[in-house]
Amino acid sequence: MEELELKYGCNPNQKPAKVFVKDGQLPFKVLNGKPGYINLLDAMNSWQLVQELKEATGLPAAASFKHVSPAGAAVSAPLSETLQKVYFVEGIELSPIATAYIRARGADRMSSYGDFVALSDECDAQTASFLAREVSDGIIAPSYSDEALKILKTKRKGTYLVLQMDSSYKPAALEQKEVFGITFEQQRNDIKITEDCLTDIPTKNKNMTPEAKRDLLIALITLKYTQSNSVCYAKDGQAIGIGAGQQSRVHCTRLAGNKADVWHLRQHPKVLALPFKDDVRRPDRDNSIDVYISEEWEDLLNTDEWKRIFTEKPEPLTREEKAAWLKTIKGVSVGSDAFFPFGDNVERARKSGVDFIAQSGGSIRDDNVIETADKYNIAMAFTHIRLFHH
């Protein structure tokens, strides 16, 4: 048996804490820093996610995790000039794994603050350099270039957590966890999510483009490692809005849709033209953009706080302008970790430009959900796979 002592459990008062395997060795090495309990929960979940994304798409993948759910996930797909501006990488030629990481981090930059990063492929120096500029708790990858490891070891005054995962590791078929002194055991969720689960399309529109299939796979695999109930919007090879841990399905759809809307609004010309002062830190920019897009912007203008951030007072992004911008959005995909019980989920998804849906099916109101999708010419697949994760 090999074990590793941790700083503490979920909270500082929960000591002692450790992880261990009953047989053999732990499948990861600590190359730098000292892991915490939540760090390793994030690491093990995110590692599975990126491995499955790469297996399903054949592309390098990355994930950004917070509190055992992804804030973002992506595969390597070329960035448009607009997204280069949004992600602060204008004019830079990016390696495939760096592109995946930047997309994953860019899905929801507010939620990714202080995240745990997972990479499907070796962490190169470019990816490490970008990560060095972000507020992050740790990273897991199958390997690191010498330069990348050198860069990461300087982060957080030398305490940044760096884990190297054995990519050949295969866990046991049965998994256990203990809650309140009681041991739970189940078959681990090793179901494969492939394009085969997108073949049952009960809607009138049965046209699933290759890009839509890729994005639906990204959404579904992301949901496999998201605390349920959960819904994920995806576009251009990445998650753009994830709603996790809600008790109501439509609340998941709303939460994820609102995040997807923010992702789109970050690309509005007024947002791209915000006159930030040169010395404003990246997290402060993210926070300011979030406030600028929200209804809180008018409150900020009534204070002098904006003067600390901007060289001049920006023009407001009006409610009408935001609505007009979002009406132009199309081609978004959405996945659900279980069935949509009512058509209201489809109605909300449509407001965020959704043209493709993948959900398990099996509701007694499937006919109503299909009818709602048909009303908007949405192509919807029944996967017949439930992806609850707890």
Active-site residues, by number, are 66-67, 229, 390
- Choose among 197, 201, 176: nearest CA to 187: 176
Pairwise CA distance, residues 218 & 233, whole Å: 9
User: To the nearest 5 percent, what fractions of the chain are helix, strand and coil?
Assistant: 35, 20, 40
Which residue reads 């492929």 in tokens?
Answer: 121
Tokens (6 digits) for 216: 């639906």
The answer to whether 216 and 381 are in contact (CB under 8 A) is: yes
Pairwise CA distance, residues 287 & 110, whole Å: 7
Tell how strand 174-179 and strand 182-187 pair up.
antiparallel
Pairwise CA distance, residues 259 & 243, whole Å: 8
SS3 177: strand
Pairwise CA distance, residues 108 & 258, whole Å: 11
Residue-wise burial string across 99-109, b where 16 or more C-beta atoms lie within 10 A, e elsewhere: bbbbbbbbbbb
The answer to whether 201 and 70 are in contact (CB under 8 A) is: no
For residue 227, the one-letter residue type is Q
